Amino acid sequence: MLNIIQIPVLTDNYIYLLHDSVSGETAVVDPALAQPVLEILDINGWQLTYILNTHHHWDHVGGNLELKQKTRCRIIAANSDSERIPGIDRGVFEGDVIALGSHQATIIETPGHTSGHIVYYFAKDEALFCGDTLFAMGCGRLFEGSAEQMWTSLQKLKVLPSLTRVYCTHEYTQANGRFALSVEPDNVQLQQRMIEVAKLRLLNKSTLPSTIEVEKATNPFFREDNSRLQKKLGLEDQSAVIVFTELRKRKDSF
């Protein structure tokens, strides 16, 4: 079993620490800061093997160099972003596989938020580490890519098995849900989810991971083909990309 520890940092970031107890190998996904990771490693007596970066933004790579210096780990990230990832050792492409002990992750390229964004999909462990491409009830802003690119990227994730757990890297769930309700107010599953999210946030608890199944039921960026949502937007019978583009535009100014 893949041991996954969620580490909250900064105002709303999550770092994920992954450990295989058989091999002793450990990886960290998107370390914004080094010290919180080093503390958890020390508490558990683990040695860091890899850093897995999804994209180049500072709040995902800020701890790279310090962790590499102190643990001699190797850094894996998109080959196309090799000039923007601090300390990168291995550049990966769509379809490449990385191993953490007996656990294997497939690389999926998901440009949109940034041009070189990738995600790590552990199929047998039913776990997706998706950085800032997919959020609970949302998706990443389009800083470097087009709406069509992001839509295409999300389609790759939408078809993953329904029980796949979604480990995104920001606690944006409640804010995203408010927007989701604005475009799909009659979605009963969405309404119920927001009640559950509110209870968790009142206790300062994480709302993650989500699942692909839950996102397909409540995330508007996974529901651009829903007729009621299209009608709410005044875009009946329009292409999925046009609907998605309008959703992203509205979210940006929400």
| CATH number of 178's domain | 3.60.15.10
Rounded Cα distance between 66 and 103, Å, is 26
Q: What is the mean pLDDT of residues 248-254?
A: 96
Mean of pLDDT over the chain? 97
Domain count, the chain: 1
Contact 136, 174 (CB under 8 A): no
pLDDT tier for residue 227 given thresholds of 50, 70 and 90: very high
Is position 170 annotated as part of the catalytic site? yes
Note the pLDDT of residue 54.
98
Peptide bond into 209 cis (omega under 30): yes
Is position 59 annotated as part of the catalytic site? yes
pLDDT tier for residue 215 given thresholds of 50, 70 and 90: very high
pLDDT, tens digit, for every residue of 116-143? 999 999 999 999 999 999 999 999 999 9
Given 20, 30, 59, 81, which residue is catalytic? 59
Given 57, 81, 103, 117, which residue is catalytic? 57
Quickly list H helices, 10-125: 35-44, 58-61, 64-71
pLDDT, tens digit, for every residue of 19-47? 999 999 999 999 999 999 999 999 999 99
Q: What is the mean pLDDT of residues 227-231?
A: 94
Is position 103 annotated as part of the catalytic site? no
Burial group, residue 56, by CB count within 10 angstroms (0-12, 13-18, 19+): buried
Q: What is the mean pLDDT of residues 182-203?
A: 97
Q: Comparing C-alpha atoms, which of 196, 231, 61 is closest to residue 131?
A: 61
Is position 89 annotated as part of the catalytic site? no
Is position 55 annotated as part of the catalytic site? yes
Note the pLDDT of residue 75.
98
Given 56, 60, 103, 117, which residue is catalytic? 60
Is position 60 annotated as part of the catalytic site? yes
Given 19, 20, 30, 55, which residue is catalytic? 55
Given 56, 103, 113, 117, which residue is catalytic? 113
Note the pLDDT of residue 145.
95
Note the pLDDT of residue 21.
94
Note the pLDDT of residue 83.
96
Half-sphere exposure of 181 (CA within 13 A, CB side): 14
Is position 57 annotated as part of the catalytic site? yes
Q: What is the mean pLDDT of residues 179-204?
A: 97
Residue 237 has pLDDT above 90, yes or no: no
Q: What is the mean pLDDT of residues 167-171?
A: 97
| Domain around 70 | 2-252
pLDDT, tens digit, for every residue of 87-114? 999 999 999 999 999 999 999 999 999 9
